[in-house]
Amino acid sequence: MGKDIREDIAWAQINTDVLKSLESPRRLFWVIIGVAIAMIGVAVGCEIYQYQNGMGVANMDNPHVWGLYIATFIFWIGMSHSGTLLSAILHLMHADWRKPIYRFAEAMTTFSLMTAGLFVAVHLGRVWQIYYAIPYPNERWVWPNFQSPLLWDAMAIFTYLSSSVLFLYVGMIPDLAIVRDNIHPGWRKKLYTLLSLGWEGTDRQWRNFRITYLTVACFLIPLAVSVHSIVASDFAMSQQPGWHITSFPPYFVAGALYSGCAAIITLFIILRYVFKFEEYMTLSILKKTTRLTFAIAMVWTYLNLIEYATVWYGHDQVAKDLLIQKAIGPYAPFWWSMNFCGSIVPFLMAFKRFQTSIPVMFAVSLLLNLGMWLERWMIVAPTFSHGYYPWTWDHDQWPSFVQWGIVFGSFGWFTLLFMVFCKVFPSVSMYEVKEMVYHRTLALKKDGLATKGAH
Amino acid sequence: MSLSNLLENWSQFRHEHPNNDKPHEEYKWAMSIDLDACTGCNTCSVACYAENNLPVVGKEKFAHGQAMHWIRIERYWDEDDREFADQGAQFLPMMCQQCEAAPCETVCPVGATNHTADGLNSQIYNRCIGSRYCSANCPFKVRYFNWYNYPTTENVWPEPMQQQLNPDLTVRTKGVMEKCTFCVQRLYSAKNNARTEGRLVHDGEVQTACQQACPTNAISFGNLVDPQSKVAKQWEQQKVELAKDKQLKDAEEGGTDLRGYRILEELRPYPSVMYLERVRESAI
Amino acid sequence: MHRILRLSVLLVGMFAAAGSYAIDAAPSLTTADDLGPQVEQPIEFPHSRHAGLHEAADSADPSKPAKGGMEINCMYCHTYARRGMAAGIPPLRKCIGCHQSIESVKETPRIKKLFEYWETKKPVPWKKVHDLPDFVRFNHERHIQRFYFQQGKPVQEVCGYCHGDVKTMTVARRQKALSMGWCVSCHQKDHPVDATSSKTSHGPNDCFTCHK
Amino acid sequence: MIENSFNRRDFLKVLGWGGTAVALSGCGNTSVEDGKEFVTSYSEPADYEIPSIGVYFNSTCAQCDAGCNIMGRVREGRVLKLEGNAGSSINRGKMCGLGQAGVQAHYNPDRVREPLLRNGNKGETLTWEKALSLINEKLGGVKGEEVAFLTGGISGHAKVLLNNYLEVLGSKNHYAYEAVSPGVVRAANKKAYGVEMPRLHLDKARVVVSFGADFLGAWVSPVHFSMQYGQFRKGSRPEGRGVLVQIEPKMTLTGANADHWIPIRPGTEGILALGIINALGASVPADAAAVAKDYTAERVSKDTGVPAEQVGKLAALLKERSPSLVLAGGAAEGYAHGSQNAAAIALLNQVLGNVGKTIDASDTLQFTQIAPTTGSRASLQVLNDSMAQGKVKVLFSYGANPVYTAPASMKLVENLQKVPFKVTFAHYLDETALQADLVLPLDSALEDWGTSVPEYLVDAQLSIQQPLMEKLYPNTRGIGDILLALLKQRRAEDYKAYEDFYSYLRGAMVQNKAALGGAVADDDSFWNATLSSGIVKLPSAAGSILAKVSAAAIVLPAPAAEDASYPLHLIPAVSASMRDGRHANLSWLQESPDPLTTIVWDSWVELHPKTAAKLGIVEGDILEVTSRSGSIKAQAYVFPGIHPDAISVPLGYGHEAMGRYAKGVGANVFKMLDPVMDKETGELAINETRVKVSKTGQRVIVVKDEGAAGGKQMGRKIAVKLSADEVDLSEEV
């Protein structure tokens, strides 16, 4: 059992440790930022090229009209679920081990949603007309089509994004106050003063704070579930083989949590290293997260097998053909590695000695996310190249550098947002860690008294 | 524009399929194609290029599957892999089936494709934002997306070729979806003339470009509401009903001597195009 | 707790208010008479002179001088309007037809210019004044047939509904919004099908009607 | 309609600013844009010229020799689309893809716009006056017989002027050349029936057996035959649904639509015909029986590769279902013994008693001077020889592209160098035009006046070709105007009455209006009626058809021996859209997939799966096809519609000039054809070429419409067929 947070750690110590992460960054930080910006540059370049010449340069075709954009869009939406899981769900479950890590998980939620949103725009043929999809009273006297899952999607994502931003912010107020009080005067102090909304830590403030936080948390959970269910309905509500599957919504949600947790492990390890948070992001937390991830991985695997089974034993020959095609057709390598990364690799997490081994977990978490990205691609692409209508089957459709470039860049974009966040806001929740430590010392004291009484 | 107005017009905005509360009143445009007469000569396709301002994309883009032929001739071989195709090939002209319950219509986020009172599946270029969801959900894959900006692409309409463009319909620019419209520009001008004379369009008054060109008269097109129209007679005789997903032909007993069918009917899009099975002589 | 309740009630209220305002605002957007730009034409054609009202001077009331309008029917010149989608501009021959026999104005600069075009057989390069986007197909014939011939409305009212009060203009200028909502607002109204019967019908509301 | 032409031209100007802009700007701006565009405005329009309303004018399709009657939709002075003329007995309102593409021939960006004079390797523009006087001057020193005029098939008043001009020059050298024409069949028909092109009645036949006549694709008058085919397939016909059997080594479009397609060893069609006669048994007349008696089912099946019981079945079918119709087409005629094949097939027809029932004679025209002069390959051979001997000093060429279509073995280009002065009347700078010293730009078929008499006469008719719009380019001229101008150089007096070809044409027609069925009408109303219908009935006498095939004269060679070094037969395919390549620069045709392979924008080599397997070839391999006279490279396409002993490559591709859409697309098969001629007619035997195939090692993805599933339906119910005995068609609408 790895060393857990010391219960005798001084509260002041916590502040200084965490606040350190807001001080002027190490060189490595700038390197990462630089790389991220370079990646964004690639994506922007590709997008401009595509904007000017038309979607053709992404090398999609009729009927293969969707590609990596949609796949990666789902991937990022999926990412976003972990934060809500850790902070909201576990919050309600009073799992206090989450406390040191939920802050950056929430940040992840927000930023991956922001990334996902971009893909909606990138994917459109006439992005300059995107406002047609917004339901507002206009001089054309026409509304968007409220029947379209794509429209629900847009709305759900926007709601989710706005409320998770709210959640993140509300949760930060006490910490912002701490920062405000500890930072030397300057524009940043002003910023924190503004953001901390005059937090004094009075009883009344704490009471209201708790109620608000709880309410938002409760509000967020159904939202999180609905968002990915709706993304799933983009496919489930269509008529196409490989998409028209009842189990898609839970399947997607599970997949989302899965990739989300995997991402948390990755970032956990990175932050732990970059900001020297060994004190707080302890191995025992890693272990708990890993176990959680493993559980979800199994759920996902189960739902995945369910899907195959329903298709296989279903009457729908076309869908069955498609499944076979996935396994033996040109997409086979990706499909198999998807299944491998998604369902076999997680078993490493079942072994105790791996659960706390940083390098192994780092590799595993990356593999899991690769698997999950492939999963999304394998949902989107094969249906087009091997759908209902044989005449239009198209087995050698391959995304062009434009698609790859934009997908690649999106990771840079996410990294940039995240790194900046870690420098501007405390990425570990100080007040909650303090609570945690406090509770534990109480518990210890009780034990202490008990032992005395024995004499 | 009030919300109430939106709710009122909802049913008109989305005409589901004809056995619901709003059956077609004046017109229901439909087609029937006799595969026994179709020779696969591709005339219909070229005529469509001429009528509907279809861009010629050239070899490279064609290779990428970006061809824009609204009506394509599919060529199938018998699958009992015999040494020679001694039964000949089997040709099938495939264009938008103008489904009554079109899968493409429900999914479009901006309602750029929806149903008209005449049973057409309209595609509105200037409303389209290019999400391509319609094509993704089309079982027949007869929707074609403007992957490039063809009006400005070299050698698509070089001077003076753009003078051939038909002013009756828009020339599509990059990023919009397009598909067969049953030559809607012809339908509307025919309806317009008829209305001026205070009557309905009578059979044969309006022809689609493909039908007009077809040298063997394999394609017939008309108003299914008008019982005197050739199409209505053919559908009637083949016992193919618009609002059914299983026709008498497929019934166990009876109906075997019919050859009218609709493609992928079991998916319940209720297509407006009936095909007549190709016949082959058994004596030779 | 009811703090939050109060807050949420307030928020909902505000949203509702804003929404309803926007919804009511929408129609007013589309009925406003916003004048289009002055269009530079090769010949400043005086519509008021041709289509304007004709009144003799009122000797009793000096404030009413003679109005020299000819009260010419719009469709006398814009002949294509009742026969095709485009109203078109009158062919040069049409103008000459009258003007070669109107000595009084023959020497005025505008008419001189007109005859120059005629002699060189050059079409007059008129500019479009009511120019819808290229993907909108307004059908003049349909509307003229419907409202002028079948419903028997006065021609200036029929044309005027979209073109404004042309008879008071010199060079025509756009007066109506001609936005989609503006068209739809009329297509949703019920109009009597002809002069006599009480039967009414509204305009078609499928997109294909105007967008092909 | 053209009287007030200047309006039309003004109109185009206006469109130059306004109309086309409208057409092109598509989904661009979304707001009202006052005062930016011009209104289409007329100065003095005709009554029918209403903006936004299309008017139809009748004319004649010039895309092939079938001469279908068409009408063009003209709106705001631009011709937008061509439709069939419903009043025509040839095509009754129908058209083919080739015809539809006629507008592209008119609007083609690569048309020649100015007269060009050779200067080294460049062409310099010059005025028409200069050009014509140059011709006159060049003709100055030469004798009549040293002037040659090469054309395609030609008829109508242009032909009259042409003959007059040659007569004036004292030359008899008019060579009508068609690279792919049923020349052999014509000759055989002449012998068998006494007429070159008898009228066929598929719509009356119960069975049609076609020996490689691709009448649905590119043979003689495809649209007309397709219409008949439509009838022929109707179960509600009194004769019931017709049965089509196609016998050919390479599946044509017609073969693909046959009830039964019989792959036959190349060149043995005649043998099979006699075999069938033999199998018919008792009913056969003595002389025919005598010829056929050696052709027992066994021998026939050995020679032709057609199973013996197949022959029996065929004979039985023909016997049982009369009247039938047997056709001989390209696949049967393209051999050294092509005429014999054709004769044998004609004999079969005669034996079956079809002559007079499903074949009869078309009417014979009285105005022979306007009757069509049909092109043949033999004529080019003659011209080529006399050029080789330096007998030609001035060569005019019009409507033919021999430099592209002549086999390399002819050395045509070499011989052309021996002609001091070559004039080409051209639409595009094609291969032949590039060899010329003087290139004169022609009006497009939609800008020009003309008349034509179709080669395949349904009824005796003269088709009027009239301009559908103003000239796109001021410096192009109609062939009629050019010939007239040339004639005026020599006979100013005789032709001074005619200021241009239009007035000549009108004059000529009005003169004979009595004969042309306008006796009572006054000149103008007769002329207007003529123009509005686009068709004039010609005085004619009912033709009579004979059945006089001399069975005795038929001598068929044994099937061609195996050729170790060149094991495969090359069957050059004449596709419906590419034909002999004269329309290769119409992008619609390049992009419209070949019906059988669905390949676009390239040529290909068709192989049977067995052959491919033997040679280890898969689809997309770049093959080198080598004959004794040349070789080409093209991609392989494996499919079951070809005889294992044969490969097929489409004609019409591989242009080295002729504009952006044609140049460098595919490979030119004409070049590699062996110089084997049909023994009787001297026509080039295009199917006699033997080839060998080798892989070059490169492989490409074949650009075709067919998807990854190939021609399979994968168990989906998409294109369904059923057998004739399962269904009652008699009542169908």
**For residue D354, which amino acid is it?**
N
Tell whether D53 lies on the interface with C, counting CB pairs under 8 A. yes
C37–D34: do the CB atoms touch at under 8 Å? yes
Please say if the pLDDT value at position D101 is more than 70: yes
DSSP for D184-231?
HHHHHHHHHHSSSS-EE-GGG-SEEEEES--TTTTSSSHHHHHHHHHH
Domain that holds residue A223: 11-439
- Rounded Cα gap, residues A267 and A293, in angstroms: 14
Query: What is the rounded average pLDDT of the residues B245-262?
Result: 78
pLDDT at B10: 60
Q: Which residues of D touch C128 (CB under 8 A)?
A: 34-39
Which residues between 80 and 109 in chain B have a beta carbon less than 8 angstroms from any beta carbon of chain D? 82-92
Please say if the pLDDT value at position A280 is more than 90: no
Number of structural domains (chain A) is 1
Cross-chain CB nearest to C23 (options B3, B192, B195): B3
pLDDT at C70: 85
Q: Which residues of C touch B1 (CB under 8 A)?
A: 23, 26-27, 181
pLDDT at A455: 47
3-class state of residue A442 by DSSP = helix
> Percentage helix, strand, coil, to 5, in chain B?
25, 15, 60
Please say whether the beta carbons of D157 and D370 come within 8 A: yes
Q: How far is B21 from chain D (nearest CA, A)?
A: 31
- Rounded Cα gap, residues D154 and D483, in angstroms: 14
3-class state of residue A38 by DSSP = helix
Residue A307 to residues A313, A323, A329: CA-CA distances in angstroms? 10, 10, 19
- Rounded Cα gap, residues D212 and D247, in angstroms: 6
Please say whether the beta carbons of D375 and D178 come within 8 A: yes
Tell whether D547 lies on the interface with C, counting CB pairs under 8 A. no
CB-based burial label for C91 (10 Å; 0-12, 13-18, 19+): buried
B122–C134: do the CB atoms touch at under 8 Å? no
**For residue A86, which amino acid is it?**
L
Q: How far is C206 from chain B (nearest CA, A)?
A: 5
CB-based burial label for D473 (10 Å; 0-12, 13-18, 19+): middle
Tell whether A59 lies on the interface with D, counting CB pairs under 8 A. no
pLDDT at D513: 87
- Rounded Cα gap, residues A338 and C199, in angstroms: 66
Fill in the DSSP letter of residue D374: -
Residue A63, preceding peptide bond in cis (omega within 30° of 0): yes
Count residue pairs from A and C with Cβ separation < 8 A.
Answer: 30
- Of chain D, the percentage scoring pLDDT greater than 70 comes to 95
| Long-range Cβ contact pairs of D168-172 (< 8 A, separation 24 or more) | D168/D487, D168/D490, D168/D491, D169/D139, D169/D144, D169/D490, D170/D143, D170/D144, D170/D145, D171/D144, D171/D145, D171/D146, D171/D147, D172/D144, D172/D145
Tell whether A138 lies on the interface with C, counting CB pairs under 8 A. yes
- Which value does ipTM take for this structure? 0.90
A139–C182: do the CB atoms touch at under 8 Å? yes
Q: Which residues of C touch B2 (CB under 8 A)?
A: 23, 26
Tell whether A53 lies on the interface with B, counting CB pairs under 8 A. yes
Q: What is the CA radius of gyration of chain C?
A: 24
Cross-chain CB nearest to B85 (options D22, D251, D577): D251
B116–C181: do the CB atoms touch at under 8 Å? no
Non-local (6+) Cβ contacts of D354 within 8 A are: D205, D322, D323, D324, D325, D326
pLDDT digits (tens, 9 = 90+) for B129-167: 999 999 999 999 999 999 999 999 989 999 899 899 999
pLDDT at D3: 38
- Of chain C, the percentage scoring pLDDT greater than 70 comes to 85
Per mean pLDDT, which range of B223-232, D58-67, D540-549, D623-632 is the poorest?
Answer: D540-549
Give B60's pLDDT tier (boundaries 50, 70, 90): very high
- Both tokens of A395, joined, read 């087995």
Non-local (6+) Cβ contacts of A67 within 8 A are: A58, A59, A60, A380, A381, A399, A403
D96–B215: do the CB atoms touch at under 8 Å? yes
CATH says D568-699 is which class?
A: mainly beta
Q: What are phi and psi of B20, to 5 degrees?
A: -90, -165
- Of chain B, the percentage scoring pLDDT greater than 90 comes to 64
Please say if the pLDDT value at position D16 is more than 60: no
Please say whether the beta carbons of A70 and A85 come within 8 A: no
Q: CA triplet C71, C75, C80: central angle to 5 degrees?
A: 160
- Of chain B, the percentage scoring pLDDT greater than 70 comes to 90
Residue D103 to residues D48, D469, D655: CA-CA distances in angstroms? 22, 11, 21
pLDDT at C28: 45
Please say if the pLDDT value at position D112 is more than 90: yes
Query: What is the rounded average pLDDT of the residues A311-331?
Result: 90
Q: Which residues of C touch B172 (CB under 8 A)?
A: none
- Rounded Cα gap, residues D574 and D652, in angstroms: 8
pLDDT at C131: 86
A141–C22: do the CB atoms touch at under 8 Å? no
Q: Where along chain D do its domains lie?
A: 116-176+367-538, 183-360, 568-699
Mapping DSSP onto H, E and C, the string for D452-487 reads ECCCCCCCCEEEEECCCCCCCCCCCECHHHHHHHHH
pLDDT at A2: 43
Q: Which CATH number fits domain D183-360: 3.30.70.1150, 3.10.580.10, 3.40.228.10, 3.20.20.70?
A: 3.40.228.10
Number of structural domains (chain B) is 1
Q: CA triplet D56, D62, D63: central angle to 5 degrees?
A: 110
Non-local (6+) Cβ contacts of C175 within 8 A are: C33, C35, C36, C163, C164, C165
Neighbours of chain D (3+ CB pairs under 8 A): A, B, C
Of the two residues D83 and D77, the one the predictor is more confident about is D83
Average pLDDT over chain D, rounded to whole? Answer: 89
- Both tokens of C110, joined, read 């505008």
Q: B223: which strand partners?
A: B29
Give B275's pLDDT tier (boundaries 50, 70, 90): very high
Per mean pLDDT, which range of B39-53, B242-256, C148-162, D242-256 is the poorest?
Answer: B242-256
Which of A339-368 are b and which e, b meaning 16 or more Cβ less than 10 Å from the residue's Cβ? bebbbebbebbeeeebbbbeebbbebbbbb
pLDDT at B6: 61
Give B207's pLDDT tier (boundaries 50, 70, 90): very high
Cross-chain CB nearest to C133 (options D14, D33, D38): D33
B67–D100: do the CB atoms touch at under 8 Å? no
> Residue D92 CB: number of other CB atoms within 10 A?
18
Count residue pairs from A and B with Cβ separation < 8 A.
Answer: 148
Domain D116-176+367-538: assigned CATH number: 3.40.50.740
Fill in the DSSP letter of residue A182: H
Non-local (6+) Cβ contacts of C102 within 8 A are: none
D51–C121: do the CB atoms touch at under 8 Å? no
Non-local (6+) Cβ contacts of A279 within 8 A are: A5, A6, A9, A17
CATH code of residue A354:
1.20.1630.10
DSSP for A86-114?
IIIIHHHTT-GGGTTTHHHHHHHHHHHHH
Cross-chain CB nearest to B1 (options C139, C181, C209): C181
CB-based burial label for A49 (10 Å; 0-12, 13-18, 19+): middle
Q: Which residues of B touch C205 (CB under 8 A)?
A: 9, 12
Which residues between 13 and 72 in chain C have a beta carbon less than 8 angstroms from any beta carbon of chain D? 36-37, 39-40
pLDDT digits (tens, 9 = 90+) for C119-172: 888 888 888 888 888 889 999 999 999 899 988 899 989 999 889 888 888 888
Which of C11, C30, C187 would you mutate first to test chain A, the one with the most A CBs within 10 A? C30
Please say whether the beta carbons of D220 and B27 come within 8 A: no
- Rounded Cα gap, residues C78 and C56, in angstroms: 27
> Residue D701 CB: number of other CB atoms within 10 A?
10
- Rounded Cα gap, residues B165 and D113, in angstroms: 22
pLDDT at A453: 47
C30–A141: do the CB atoms touch at under 8 Å? yes
Which residues between 54 and 113 in chain A have a beta carbon less than 8 angstroms from any beta carbon of chain B? 54-56, 59-66
CB-based burial label for D42 (10 Å; 0-12, 13-18, 19+): buried
What number of CA atoms fall less than 13 Å from residue D630's CA on the CB side?
A: 17
Q: Where along chain C do its domains lie?
A: 68-89+126-209
Please say whether the beta carbons of C50 and C69 come within 8 A: yes
- Of chain A, the percentage scoring pLDDT greater than 70 comes to 96
Sheet arrangement for strand D450-452: D450-452, D461-465, D535-537
Please say whether the beta carbons of D455 and D65 come within 8 A: yes
Q: Which residues of A touch C177 (CB under 8 A)?
A: 139
Q: Closest Cα to residue B169, out of B54, B66, B7, B12?
A: B54
Residue A389 CA, distance from chain mean position:
36
pLDDT digits (tens, 9 = 90+) for A85-103: 777 877 777 777 777 888 8
- Rounded Cα gap, residues D557 and D271, in angstroms: 9
Of the two residues A223 and C31, the one the predictor is more confident about is A223
- Rounded Cα gap, residues C112 and C110, in angstroms: 5
> Residue D163 CB: number of other CB atoms within 10 A?
17
Give D28's pLDDT tier (boundaries 50, 70, 90): very low
- Rounded Cα gap, residues B191 and B29, in angstroms: 12
Q: Which residues of A touch B130 (CB under 8 A)?
A: 55, 124-127
Residue A2, in any domain of the structure: no
- The dihedral through the CA atoms of B213, B214, B215, B219 has a sign that is negative
Please say whether the beta carbons of C96 and C118 come within 8 A: yes
Cross-chain CB nearest to A394 (options D707, D713, D716): D707
**Axis-axis angle for helices A401-424, A102-123 (nearest 10):** 150
DSSP for A263-290?
HHHHHHHHHHHHTT-TTTS-HHHHHHHH
pLDDT digits (tens, 9 = 90+) for D612-638: 999 999 999 999 999 999 999 999 999
CATH code of residue B163:
3.30.70.20
- Rounded Cα gap, residues A109 and A116, in angstroms: 11
Please say whether the beta carbons of B101 and B268 come within 8 A: yes
Query: What is the rounded average pLDDT of the residues D336-345?
Result: 91
Q: Which residues of B touch A145 (CB under 8 A)?
A: 106, 108-111, 114
Element housing B184 (H / E): helix B184-196
User: What pTM value is reported for the model?
Assistant: 0.91
Give C29's pLDDT tier (boundaries 50, 70, 90): very low
Please say whether the beta carbons of D422 and D438 come within 8 A: yes
- The dihedral through the CA atoms of B21, B27, B32, B38 has a sign that is negative
Domain that holds residue B189: 31-276
Q: Closest Cα to residue A102, out of A429, A436, A438?
A: A429
